[in-house]
Amino acid sequence: MAAAAARVIVVAGPSGAGKSRLCRRLHDDHGTTTVHLDDFYKDGDDPTLPRVRLAPGPGPGHEVVDWDDAAAWSRDDALDALDRLCREGVADVPVYDISRDGRVGTRRVSVGRSPYVVAEGLFAQEVIDGCRERGLLADAVCVRNHRLVTFWRRLRRDLREHRKPPMVLLRRGWRLVRAEPEVVRHAVARGAAPMTSRQAYRRLGDMVARGRAA
């Protein structure tokens, strides 16, 4: 097995907590490469996808795919892509369109000059153990805010990007508000340190800067 030229920084946290914003700052200021783990969702016609009823009542439109269940996502594909990227310096990763419930292509990602790859996504905490076992883990954080702040940011983003019908987004959003403390607890149990986006930027930015200087 080839030695790893880069290691993985895992950025976990609830949907809408600011993970992507943090990763953009690390890229712009420190040149890190980001892998968006949400692109490893399964296609919408996959029979193994979990489903959830967002509102009581019969009829179409009430039961939808539960995109917040880790069973809707491929951990093995994500880990293999991170492994290739760290060891070979380049990897092809899927491009997922959540409004179309499927992968619409691939993109080539390269490590560049940074010794770190940032892996962020709703299920990012699920790759922590695998990265550690493969000798790839550099650090892991869980970005968190007040629940209502996260709810509002998530709703604005999802409406702006037309991810799902507005009523589905609203019902899902309130469901995630209730689930958020457990999401954070689960990420912490997996090994992610809980903190705000600002705290995470200071911690990770300092680490990346030291790594590049070395």
> Half-sphere exposure (CA, 13 Å, Cβ side) for 121?
26
Q: Against a cut of 0.95, is the pTM above it? A: no
Determine the pLDDT at residue 16: 79
**Residue 56 DSSP one-character state:** S
113 and 57 in contact (C-beta within 8 Å)?
Answer: no
Distance CA 116, CA 29 (A): 13
Q: Exposed e or buried b for every residue in 55-78, given b needs 16+ CB within 10 A?
A: eeeeeeeeebbbbbeeebbbbebb
Residues 6+ apart with CB under 8 A from 58: none
Alpha helices in 73-124 (DSSP H): 75-88
| pLDDT tens for each residue of 72-95 | 999 999 999 999 999 999 999 999
- Beta-bridge mates of residue 73: 41
Distance CA 81, CA 77 (A): 6
Percent of residues, the chain, with pLDDT higher than 70: 95
210, pLDDT greater than 70: yes
167, pLDDT greater than 80: no
Residues 6+ apart with CB under 8 A from 59: none
Domains, the chain, in order of start with CATH, read 7-213 (3.40.50.300)
18 and 153 in contact (C-beta within 8 Å)?
Answer: yes
